[in-house]
């Protein structure tokens, strides 16, 4: 495992820097004096367009790429826009990874997510469980595209020796999260529902499904911290030589959706009742990452869930609600 800061002055392209993950990575890199950052909005550079991506890489030759650009959403969006989820994500990652290879990129970190693991995989989810069984139906198109991204990195390493590898964060939340109820993940959706119910003096809030599934949540600034730790200390060979294709990032702790709802209601100050819409799907029963590998490399999460929810709610009030 190398452990130097040879990447400090490299030209780092943060793809997706306007998103929740990309903006956290950019903030954290800037805070640590990585001042050679390259960022393009999707209007300036549409990663779906191969020619635009090729021209950008040829002109800029980024030395490090953090792949946080993707089409992302919760159960409803994943299940409704199935074709868009598979097409957009395949195109974005194929265009970027191939151009990174063509232009001699020294290191690329690709972001997947825990939904790439099989629906009924044993818990906690070990890196080895990739491709060992069927995926959850609602997000299968997204997961297939993400698995293709993991395998692109792995096979560009195996054929061309590219220093490209993938990280699998658990569910993330924090500043710049998506609070649109049509497309958001569970934590920001609940935060908004409870907030609006409090403001409108509603007596109850309805959750999708039984509330019994268990989920793990990582504050996005902790993920950004992990990305920088990996840039500085972990190379592709360190991953693939262990017989795995990607490395998990999470807290290693999970809670039920009902417990999460109670915690958010407490932080938001909603005092009404929590009801359940049992006609709606629960999704995968449990998704907990085995984070022993990243822990043994020397990285651990810092922000406990309640503290992270408090920070996120503060951000929501300042940036969404009061605008
Ligand atoms: N959110 C989570 O809980 C979670 C958990 C695990 C892993 N991840 C992974 O982290 C990555 C980022 O997720 P996120 O939550 O930060 O998503 P996000 O907030 O929706 O951000 C997505 C980013 O991708 C950019 N993008 C999308 N389509 C693009 C295109 N055609 N061309 C250029 N840029 C494009 C967006 O730019 P515009 O805004 O300009 O469109 C935005 O900057 C994804 O790979 C996701 O799988 C997320």
Mean pLDDT across the stretch 43-61?
98
Which residue ranges have their beta carbon within 6 Å of ligand 1? 16, 18-22, 41-42, 46-48, 68-72, 92, 111-113, 169, 171-172, 178, 185
Write the pLDDT tens digit of every residue in 22-33: 999 999 999 999
Write the pLDDT tens digit of every residue in 89-148: 999 999 999 999 999 999 999 999 888 999 889 999 999 999 999 998 988 999 999 999
CATH of 12-174+217-252+289-302, one of 3.40.50.720, 3.40.50.2020, 2.60.40.10, 3.30.750.210: 3.40.50.720
What would you report as the CA-atom Rg of the chain, rounded to the nearest whole angstrom?
Answer: 19
Residue 183: predicted pLDDT: 81
Q: What percent of the chain is predicted at pLDDT more than 70?
A: 98
Residue appearing with tokens 């069984």: 133
**Strands lying side by side in the sheet with 286-287:** 255-256, 214-215, 286-287
Domain boundaries, the chain: 12-174+217-252+289-302
Distance 2 CA to ligand 1 centre (A): 29
- Those residues whose C-beta lies under 8 Å from the C-beta of residue 209, and which sit 6 or more positions away, are 257, 276, 277, 278, 280, 281, 282, 283
């Amino acid at each position: 495992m190398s452990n130097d800061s040879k990447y400090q002055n490299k030209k780092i392209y943060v793809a997706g820097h306007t998103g929740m993950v990309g903006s956290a990575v950019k903030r954290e890199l800037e805070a640590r004096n990585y001042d050679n950052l390259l960022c393009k909005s999707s209007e300036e550079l549409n990663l779906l367009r191969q020619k635009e991506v090729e021209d950008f890489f040829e002109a800029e030759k980024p030395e490090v790429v953090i792949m946080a650009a993707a089409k992302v959403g919760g159960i409803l969006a994943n299940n409704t826009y199935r074709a868009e989820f598979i097409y957009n994500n395949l195109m974005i990652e194929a265009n970027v990874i191939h151009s990174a290879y063509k232009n001699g990129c020294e290191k690329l970190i690709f972001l997947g997510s825990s939904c790439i693991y099989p629906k009924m995989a044993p818990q906690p989810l070990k890196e080895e469980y990739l491709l060992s069984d069927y995926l959850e139906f609602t997000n299968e198109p997204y997961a297939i595209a993400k698995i293709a991204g993991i395998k692109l990195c792995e096979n560009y390493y195996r054929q061309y020796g590219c220093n490209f590898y993938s990280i699998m964060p658990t569910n993330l939340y924090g500043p710049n999260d998506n609070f649109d109820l049509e497309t958001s993940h569970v934590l920001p959706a609940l935060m908004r529902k409870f907030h609006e119910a409090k403001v409108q003096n509603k007596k109850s809030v309805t959750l999708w499904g039984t509330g019994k599934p268990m989920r793990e949540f990582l504050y996005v600034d902790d993920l950004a911290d992990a990305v920088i730790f990996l840039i500085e200390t972990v190379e592709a060979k360190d991953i693939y030589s262990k017989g795995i294709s990607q490395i998990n990032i999470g807290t290693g702790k999970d809670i039920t959706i009902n417990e999460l709802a109670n915690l958010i209601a407490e932080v938001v100050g909603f005092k009404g009742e929590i009801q359940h819409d049992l006609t709606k799907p629960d999704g995968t029963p449990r998704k907990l990452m085995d984070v022993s590998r990243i822990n043994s490399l020397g990285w651990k999460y810092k922000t406990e869930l309640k503290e992270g929810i408090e920070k996120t709610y503060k951000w929501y009030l300042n940036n969404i609600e009061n605008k």
